Amino acid sequence: MSHPEHEPAVLLLRLAAPLQSWGAASENNRRETRPEPTKSGVVGLLAAAAGRRRGEQITDLAGLRLAVRADQPGSLLRDYHTLSEPGGAPLLSAQVNAKGLQKRTSPAKPTHITYRYYLQDAVFVAALQGPRPLIEALAHAVRNPAFPLALGRRSCVPSGPLLLGTITGSSAADLEQVLQDVQWQAAEYVRTRHGAATVDLAATIEDPAGDHTAADVPLTFAFRHSGTPARATRTVRHTWLSVPTGLPDPDPSTGSKPTSRKPAGHDPFALLGW
């Protein structure tokens, strides 16, 4: 009989928010987002939940195997920013003087333009596989986070509880099957329009035999020093999963879909008396 400490376990998270942003290599004045959560972003979320500060080791978290399912891909938003000093003073540059203070731009640059990219109204399911004690500790941390949690950037606050649950024992050994068994987590207005018992969803699964590479494994969250890499690579594969929706199949005698009911919650037209 295997010891519980050696049993595999899976942590299931629902990542949903009005805005998410999962940056990879972009920096400076153009901050892009990947179309799905990155491993560095998910590990950073777990490290914040567990109360780990910058510079603390994250080897155990980065060693978790990650699979992500796109339940609601969302749409891309570009946010345009301008940055300027009060009174029109030249902006600070990346150069420093002998005292370690930032120099002003030369020639003077009064305004800086930046772009931030976000995913709007996206929903993902993330599954992380690892040792049972660590998975159970992380599930407790996500329910009781030490620091506020965000989906990629500090401004991207989750719209609901993150923890879907944990899977332990032999059922947790097949990460792809675990992800396939989780019911569709898209918003209700999306699910009720589908009207079928299953839906095909795109997924990315960490797999040593995969044929794609992702450079998003965090080595540390401490501020980088010159010449020190911030991320390592991992091998992944992309696939499609047939996932249960929780809805009945269309009536075979009529060929019609089930009647969609009006989603509960916010109704903007109610403000107009419609």
Four-residue CA torsion sign, 102, 104, 110, 113: negative
Quote the CA–CA distance of 138 and 149 in Å, as a whole number. Answer: 13
Q: For residue 139, what pLDDT is reported?
A: 98
What fold does the segment set 4-77+118-272 form as a domain? Alpha-Beta Plaits (3.30.70)
Domain residue spans of the chain: 4-77+118-272
Per-residue pLDDT of the chain (274 residues; tens, 9 = 90+): 556 667 899 999 999 999 999 986 666 677 889 999 999 999 999 999 999 998 899 999 999 999 999 999 999 999 887 877 777 778 787 788 888 888 888 777 778 788 889 999 999 999 999 999 999 999 999 999 999 999 999 999 999 999 999 999 999 999 999 999 999 999 998 998 888 999 999 999 999 999 999 999 999 888 765 445 578 999 999 999 999 998 887 666 655 555 444 445 566 666 555 6
Whole-model pTM: value is 0.81
Residue among 62, 154, 167 nearest 125 (CA): 167
- Structural tokens at position 13: 């998270």
